[in-house]
Amino acid sequence: MASKSLNLVFAIATLVISTSVFPLCTSLSLKYPAIFNFGDSNSDTGNMLAGKGGSLHAPYGKDFRSPSGRFSDGRLVVDFLAKEMGLPYLNPYLESTGAPNFKRGCNFAAAGATILPAKGDSFCPFSFDIQVLQFIRFKARVAQLRARSSHKGGKKRMAVNILSLLPKEEYFEKGIYMFDIGQNDVGGVFWSNKTQDQIFVWISTVIDAFKQGLEELYSNGARNFWIHNTGPVGCLPETLTYFGPTTNRSNVDAFGCLKDHNEADKAFNLQLAKLCNDLQKKWPKANITYVDIYNIKYDLIANHTRHGFEESIMGCCGYGGPPTNFNSSIPCGSKVVLKGEKFKSKVCQNSTKYVSWDGTHYGQSANRFVASQILNGNYIYPALSNKMSNLIFP
């Protein structure tokens, strides 16, 4: 399919999505008792490190709970959303130390996670299907512990009142289920030999897998779904480093992003929006909210100076300097020896001026911006109440 034709399709699709697939609504509230989150590194608060071992070294987390298990210099979008809901930051499901508190929800997201089931050689074994199974296990275990404590003397037999650290039974139905996953699927497929047209066809397989996971959660009591679409992978410094143009400048847009990657993201998001609409019709008692992360992030990159940033497609922490400051052999926070020579990653002086933190993940300031745009209601279908339009993050 030609690029010009695709752009027309996406333009029409955006209009359709904004006017008929998701009619505007002014009654949506963020008053939920708990958050159950699923995703990849965009919302991982420590699962990948707890589940697979290892640690994130400084300067990761330098502006928030260093080290915190987050792939950023500070907080993530999910952290800002939780704060505005009056809920604590989510503890990772796989963290077993420090008596993690799950009373107000649990985070199942893991860095590197995909929607499609992980393969044996996958970086992350905790793909979406596994995260769903973890949730089902979590819910069942909570029910078991509550049943045990209801027996005479049950609470006394527990060294610690563990029930105070677990969600109430009704929270599983009344809580909000957040999703930010798919970026690794769409970005990763470009390492295959698939053509652009084949990628667009393949995306339906990913959407089907996501649908299966949502259906499992619905059958296990989930009713409030908050679904982020995927951001512009073609604007990530990592993507630009590996797939950036050498002679084919026609694949680069006016803001330095790769068109083919971003067109794949748009195709994914279009099918995701349709899925949300279809499920809302199928489940009239559910509340399905589609959040347009792509256009928030693309606007941030395209108009970064207007939003207070100086660098849009160069990472703050990494190695290599302009234009991307990204080298997978010398990642952020590392000291390595390559061919007998020592190399050390470097950090910019002011990370608040960079959209990208490490070439793959956004920095805290960019995440704060994304969360503020979500909460002003302009990128949400159905839309948030007007009362949320003037939120200011500390």
Number of domains in the chain: 1
63: in domain: yes
pLDDT surpassing 90 at residue 394: no
Amino acid at 3: S
68: in domain: yes
Residue 83: per-residue pLDDT = 94
Residue 22: per-residue pLDDT = 42
121: in domain: yes
**How far apart, in whole angstroms, are the C-alpha atoms of residue 324 and residue 16?**
35
pLDDT surpassing 50 at residue 159: no
CA distance between the termini of the chain: 46
Report the relative pairing of strands 287-291 and 380-381 from DSSP bridges. antiparallel
156: in domain: yes
Catalytic residue (choose from 41, 43, 68, 345): 41
129: in domain: yes
Q: Of 306, 318, 309, 312, whose CA–CA distance to 347 is shortest?
A: 318
Residues 200-206 have a mean pLDDT of 97
More confident residue, 305 or 18: 305
Interval 128-151: pLDDT, tens: 999 999 999 999 999 999 888 776
Residue 162: per-residue pLDDT = 81
Residue 55: per-residue pLDDT = 76
Q: Domain of 55: which CATH number?
A: 3.40.50
Residue 25: per-residue pLDDT = 34
State CA 171 to chain mean position distance.
Answer: 22
Residue 121: per-residue pLDDT = 84
**How far apart, in whole angstroms, are the C-alpha atoms of residue 170 and residue 148?**
18
Amino acid at 197: D
41 assigned to active site = yes
- Would you say 23 and 378 are in contact if contact means Cβ atoms under 8 Å apart? no
Which structural domain range is residue 82 located in?
3-294+381-388
361 assigned to active site = yes
**How far apart, in whole angstroms, are the C-alpha atoms of residue 286 and residue 217?**
12
φ, ψ (nearest 5 deg) of residue 36: -120, 110
**How far apart, in whole angstroms, are the C-alpha atoms of residue 176 and residue 253?**
37
Catalytic residue (choose from 228, 261, 304, 361): 361
Interval 349-388: pLDDT, tens: 999 999 999 999 999 999 999 999 999 888 998 754 433 3
Interval 10-63: pLDDT, tens: 443 444 444 344 433 333 457 899 999 999 999 999 999 998 877 788 899 999
Helix and strand totals (H; E) in the chain: 12, 10
- Would you say 358 and 331 are in contact if contact means Cβ atoms under 8 Å apart? yes
Residue 153: per-residue pLDDT = 56
pLDDT surpassing 90 at residue 80: yes
277: in domain: yes
Catalytic residue (choose from 73, 180, 292, 358): 358
320: in domain: no
155: in domain: yes
Residue 234: per-residue pLDDT = 97
